[in-house]
Structure 1
Amino acid sequence: MKKHLPHVLLLLIVCAIVFGFKLGDYDFWGRHGEARRAEVSREMVVSGNWLVPHLNGEPFVTKPPLYYWAAAAMFELTGRFDELSARIPSVIAGTLGVFVTYCWANAMFSARIGCFAGIILATSFLYGGMARTAGLDMMLTLFTTAALYFFTLGYLRRQIAANLSGKWNLSTGMYLLSAFCIGLATMTKNPIGFAVPLLAIGAFILLTRDFKLLLETKPWWLLLVFLLVVLPWFVMVYARVPDFFDILHQETLGRYIDPEGTPHYEPFYYYIPALGAFAPWVIFLPGMIISLISKKLHQISRSHLLIIVASVTTFLLFSSVGSKREYYLLPIYPFLAILVAKYWDEYLEIKRTTNARWIEKGMAIPFAGFAGLLCLVGVALPMAAHIYLPAYLLLSVLFGLLFLASGMFLFHWLLHGNVSGTFAVFSIATILIYVFVLLTIVPETNVYRSRKTFFNEVAAIAGEHKIIDYNYEGFDAQFYLQRIVPVAKEIEDLAAFADLQKPVFIIMTSEQYDHLQQNVPELAHTFEQVLQRTWRSAINPGRTRSLVLLKTL
């Protein structure tokens, strides 16, 4: 345990900075995303109905409730409906995911590779960003990773288990834990939770032709554990929401049967460029792939093969679904982190062989490119800040010097073959990028994209009177107003609300209000504008957004 303590402390520090720094200092952005998940959890607490998730007062069962339960529990624990409480479950899941990845790589290879993998995972841009987000995908990634980790532990202990044939043993216990984690993953995001680990395990068994492993895992017990985790909630919700299975079908098989009819439809190859979100470590993927191809099969251990198979099957799984978003691919990130960490370790232990030359080239080119980019950013950053963000000029000069120094150190240690030093500087430079963005870009973006102050003003003006949403359809309204907000989508709906007991308040965009005045002036004249707020982008001043609050006369 003592030999792991420095690694554990280092990973905790990295996670605390990347995931926790200024976590509650920015609001929910956009109409959906974080605000929608947080609002479901808020309504869960307010209504006391923890079984059937609701959104704006209506059943919302497109996803199982595990994240909603976690966020609702944090709201109860902190006594506040705020952004920080909604994001804490993702921070915890992200941190645990880093440590599961560390333990997994340590079990397969070494503690050093585990430490590399943990740092790579924590500092990859998408993973770090999603760990700071109120959403489902970080919890999903934790449980799919843990499922494969426990499967690997069981597999590695199978020789010991062979001497205890037919009996319960540690290997069987690991397989049961794997099934339990698959159940939790399914309770986070439906069938994708079991598809990721089961496809990887199935493909691994096919490739190795180790079919007796199927019986060794005692699949009947694994199925029982999985069903005990998953089945109760699905059965109870089906009894309360009659069209539950229609919704479930649309969210699962419907995305395969009618891919172009699903939201966020993208072509099959969408995730190839989307892997750029694994930055900055993505620059080592080409060299890592070439290194793997140059190896002979007997040079790749079974555990290493499982990681490779998991990466390929997960990538193909998400690519085959019509609905695609960058962050959907998050479950592949722990696998990529371990593969890149193993590649780094091979570079550290390099020997003069054909394979080693590929590793040297695969490392030197990305290193030189990243070092040059850091130097360029270090020089250009103060000039860019002077034009776009003058309030942060001094801070930009400081970070510009740090980036410039990091680039120069990378060049120096690359030339002198100091692999540990280059990894340290590369990681520190990545963390500095996070910190700089959180200190400068995020606050300015928050000013432009947050509507929290507007909704706080609306709440103060409207008091207990009814508030209507006319085609704004943003769930940040419900969360910040802390109430159900009926939605009017058509002019007829708006007119019906206007006939209710006065006063009634209506939220809409300025563009919608202008359209209403031009096209339905007789209805517009029944409203009085009581509040208007406009947000202008600091980086692109020509870009503005505006909302108004109307009151019925």
Structure 2
Amino acid sequence: MNGLKDKSILSDTILIIIILLLPLALFTNLGLMPLISDEPTRAVVTLEMILSENFITPTINGDFYYNKPPLFNWILAGFVKVAGVENEFIFRLPTVISLLLMGLAITLFARKALGWRNAVMAALMMITSARILFWDSFQGLIDITYSLVTFTGFALLYHLSQRRKWLLMFTATYALAAAGYLMKGLPSIAFQGISLLAWLSYDKQFRKLFSWQHLAGILTFALITGTYYYAYLQTNTLDDVFSTLFDQSNRLSDKKGTFLSWLLHLVTFPFEMIYEFAPWTILLLLLLSKKIRIALYTDKFIMFNLLIFSSNIIIYWISADMRPRYLFMLFPLLFVILVKAWSLSAESRNNLRKITDVVFGVLGLLGTASLLYYLFWDETNQLQGVWMIIPLLFIIAGSAVWLMRKHVPLRMLLLIIVMLTVRIAFSMFNLQARYNSYPDAGYRQGEITAGQLIKECNTYVLGDTPFNHDASFYIARESRQIIRRTWEISDSGTCYIADEKNLATFADRLEGYEIIHTFTIKLSETRLFLLKKSL
């Protein structure tokens, strides 16, 4: 009895350490790097909403933007309004908060079926999966927030259907589907339809799809989305809205690929997902045990997770244009299954379980050893604090690895400690090294300077000058104006941004203008010139 009590105390202590390390891992240097990937798109749409005070019809450079509905931008705008700043940290903060909320949602979803410790384990597996921990968790993208909304819909589908609260189940899940639609468009309709069909058929409640409660749910979706589109129609038509949303949501074809590359994708997809969501996907080995599979198949909660995961992932499996971040709402379901398999395997300690335990131990050693790299890497070994912080993190990770030897059942939790120390080191020193050596900071500074120079000057991008969303955001933020495109030269109170080609094309109409700033943007490293009328 005392042994079980000591194990419980140790487990709780490990969880407390994880809770202390998690904010350091997720928030350290969150706002350091300039906006990258799709971040500038989300940022410039949000900024133009704020500048124009038009929150209904999204724009980029003053032109209507149809790729995504505006709900995520409303969330970003809310954070900006509360914080009073429009910096990188604020635009990324919703991602981190959404990730932590997803962890809470997973815990609440699974705690009765798995026990709260295993439910927390499933949540931590999601947060610390490789793709999220070392990439998406520090980017201001839509996917984690969208996945939180979609996964919450899955959770309510199960719990409310089991309590037979059909009206609440349909209206709540369709309301969340509507919220998801207003973030990302058509995928939410697919998730809702596929999940309802798969689960209610399995649960022998197929007839509920033809009930008045289901109709109420559909009307809830229509009311929410219809209200938005009614407001949208006051300022723009819907001519290009739905065709663009369909094109954005259609991942079945890849214009750049071939039929052979699609066939190759069908084969490589599972292995890519195992890699992207490592190390926890190593637990898939446990499913090779017939005894564990039979136990899983007799658990209704586990079957729900399996059905929703497998029925929804098929679309992405057969899609040529697929990115791992599109699957964030599905992998908590898989992690719940894997945690259950892991707990079942503890009873027999078969060879499959021993293999996973060994892999986790080896990964712990490798992760701990990797921390020392920062002491020898020329780009980091002179950074402030590296010779104090890295040894401290090494001691924490090393202690976790040492405990792995004596407490094998706690290896997964202890590996999480190692992974968090690696992420903290990454945030503190790897990101700083990238900031110092990558050209992104220089691009940003040139765009910021341009924006500061045109605060009193209406500014346009001239002709077909290349102009990316990074430049659009930083210049608009500093100048407090939307940077539109023009093909005309107007009065002397106007400034222009042009590349060399358009500078030559409009040369005869730019007489009297001088170049007041030259800067380079990330798009093909294009050199741009800021022009202003000479006094």
TM-score over 0.5 for the alignment? yes
How many Å separate the matches in 2 of 1:61 and 1:115? 39
Q: Counterpart of 1:178 in structure 2: which amino acid?
A: T
- My pick for the range that moved more, 109-118 or 324-333, is 324-333
Could you tell me how far 1:545 is from its partner in structure 2? Answer: 5.1
1:262-341, aligned counterparts within 5 Å? 267=262, 268-269=265-266, 271-275=269-273, 278-291=276-289, 295-296=293-294, 299-341=297-339
* Per-residue deviation, residues 169-214 of structure 1 (Å, max 9, x unmatched): x564344322222221122111212322432332234445553554
Contact 2:374 2:380 in 1 (8 A): no
Q: Which amino acid aligns with 1:327?
A: R
Residue equivalent to 2:431:
442
Task: State whether structure 2 residue 108 is matched by structure 1 residue 117.
Answer: no
Ranges in structure 1 where 5+ consecutive residues have no aligned partner = 159-169, 537-543
CA distance in 2, matches of 1:226, 1:401: 52
Cα displacement (A) at 1:426 = 0.7
**Cα RMSD, aligned residues only:** 3.9
Q: Is the partner of 1:506 in helix, strand or coil?
A: strand
| Corresponding position: 1:34 with 2:39 | yes
Query: 1:157 is matched with which residue: 152, 163, 166?
Result: 163
Alignment of 1:41-56 (within 5 A): 41-56=46-61
Structure 1 residue 477: Cα displacement: 1.9
Counterpart of 1:541 in structure 2 is none
- For 2:454, give the aligned amino acid: A
- Find the aligned partners of 1:360 and 1:389 in 2 and give their Cα distance: 38
Quote the offset at 1:408 in angstroms.
7.2
Provide closer, same or farther for how the CA distance between residues 188 and 8 of structure 1 changes in structure 2, counting only shifts above 3 A. farther
Aligned pair 1:259/2:264, yes or no?
no
Residues in 2 aligned to 1:263 and 1:255: alpha-carbon distance in whole angstroms: 17
* Counterpart mapping for 1:114-513 below 5 A: 114-128=119-133, 129-158=135-164, 170=165, 172-207=167-202, 209-212=204-207, 214=209, 218-238=213-233, 240-242=235-237, 244-252=238-246, 256=250, 259-261=253-255, 267=262, 268-269=265-266, 271-275=269-273, 278-291=276-289, 295-296=293-294, 299-347=297-345, 350-352=346-348, 356-383=349-376, 385-386=377-378, 388-392=379-383, 395=386, 398-399=389-390, 402-403=393-394, 406=397, 409-410=400-401, 412-420=402-410, 422-447=411-436, 448-450=439-441, 451-469=443-461, 471-482=465-476, 483-487=481-485, 493=487, 496-497=488-489, 501=492, 504-506=495-497, 508=499, 513=500
- C-alpha spacing 1:393/1:19, structure 2 compared with 1 (3 Å): closer
TM-score scaled by length of structure 2: 0.81
Give the whole-Å Cα distance in 1 for the aligned partners of 2:175 and 2:26.
27
Q: 1:29 to 1:416 in 2, by over 3 A?
A: same
Q: 1:288 to 1:400 in 2, by over 3 A?
A: farther
Q: What is the CA distance between 1:142 and its match in structure 2?
A: 0.8
**Distance in 1, Cα, partners of 2:109 & 2:92:** 26
Shift of 1:396: 6.3
Distance 1:247 1:531 in 2: 38
Q: Deviations over 1:335-365 (max 9, x none)?
A: 2332333234334xx123xxx4154134124
Matches of 1:92 and 1:292 in 2, distance apart? 39
Between the aligned partners of 1:263 and 1:240, the Cα distance in structure 2 is 38
**Quick check: 1:87–1:133 contact (8 Å CA) kept in 2?**
yes
Secondary structure at the aligned position of 2:330 is classed as helix
Distance verdict in 2 for CA 1:259–1:241, change over 3 Å: farther
C-alpha displacement of 1:332: 1.9
State TM-score, norm by structure 1: 0.79
Residue 260 of structure 1 aligns to a residue in which SS? Answer: coil
1:51 aligns to what SS in structure 2? coil
Which residue in 1 is equivalent to 2:6? none
Give structure 2 stretches of 5+ with no counterpart.
Answer: 1-8
Cα deviation 1:298-335 (Å, max 9, x = unaligned): 74311101111222233222233343233222222322
